[in-house]
Amino acid sequence: MIKLYGAPLSNYYNMVKVALLEKGLSFEEVLTPPSQDAGYLAKSPMGKIPCIETPDGFLAESIAILEYLEAVAPSPSLLPSNAFEQAKVREIAQVIELNIELVARRGFGALRGKPVAESVVADLARDLPKGCAAVARLTQFGPFIQGDEMTYADIVGFFSFILANRAAKAVIEVDLLALIPGAPAWFEMMQARPSVARALADQ
């Protein structure tokens, strides 16, 4: 059985947890904080959460884990069958991680009441609208990001935007979802999905 290491407050942890739930795979949650201890670094090389333990060893990096789950449990699928459409899912997930999640993450201190440096405020104000414009160019919301089937881009997208938007509202007073046509309704739909609702309730 797959073991999922991490904590329910982590948006990345929830990406993997929701994929496991969607696929109906049995898994055990092992509550673990991020850690630089040698024991945990042997499992997750940057000491980050999540990582998973598989029959073949440990695996970190959420998108790599999602790809692994897709390979070992292809049904129900979180990727389209067409090679180009599959690559598009990967493109969108990466664009969201690099240009929304990781940019907004620099302002996450605001969510814990910490001051955010002026340079970070300026970076978020410049880069987040640019990232949202890229996401808008890539998404269809029909009703899912890539059309009528849910893919892992929806999972990465939902758990990236949930925190990024809180940080954007707190730091630059911008609603990121409002910058992407169709995104507010998609976000509501994803939030109501049983797997996502369970991960949020478990927090």
Ligand X SMILES: N[C@@H](CCC(=O)N[C@@H](CS)C(=O)NCC(=O)O)C(=O)O
Query: Pick from 29, 61, 123, 127: which binds ligand X (CB under 6 A)?
Result: 61
Decide if residue 12 touches ligand X (CB under 6 A).
yes
d(CA 193, CA 109): 29
Binding range to ligand X, per CB under 6 A, among 8-16, 67-75, 79-87, 146-154? 8-16
* SS3 (DSSP) at 105: helix
* Minimum separation from the CB atom of position 127 to ligand X (A): 18
* Minimum separation from the CB atom of position 117 to ligand X (A): 18
> Are residues 191 and 197 in contact, defined by beta-carbon separation less than 8 angstroms?
yes
* Minimum separation from the CB atom of position 70 to ligand X (A): 15
Query: Pick from 48, 90, 166, 193: which binds ligand X (CB under 6 A)?
Result: 48
Decide if residue 11 touches ligand X (CB under 6 A).
yes
CA dihedral 203, 194, 49, 51 (to 10 degrees): 140
Q: 159: which 2 tokens?
A: 């758990």
Residues that bind ligand X (rule: CB under 6 A) add up to a total of: 10
Burial code (b: 16+ CB inside 10 Å, e: under 16) for 151-184 equals bbbbbbbbbbbbbbbbbbebbbebebbebbeebe
- What part of residues 108-167 is at the interface with ligand X (CB under 6 A)? none
What residue ranges bind ligand X (CB under 6 A)? 10-12, 34, 47-49, 61-63
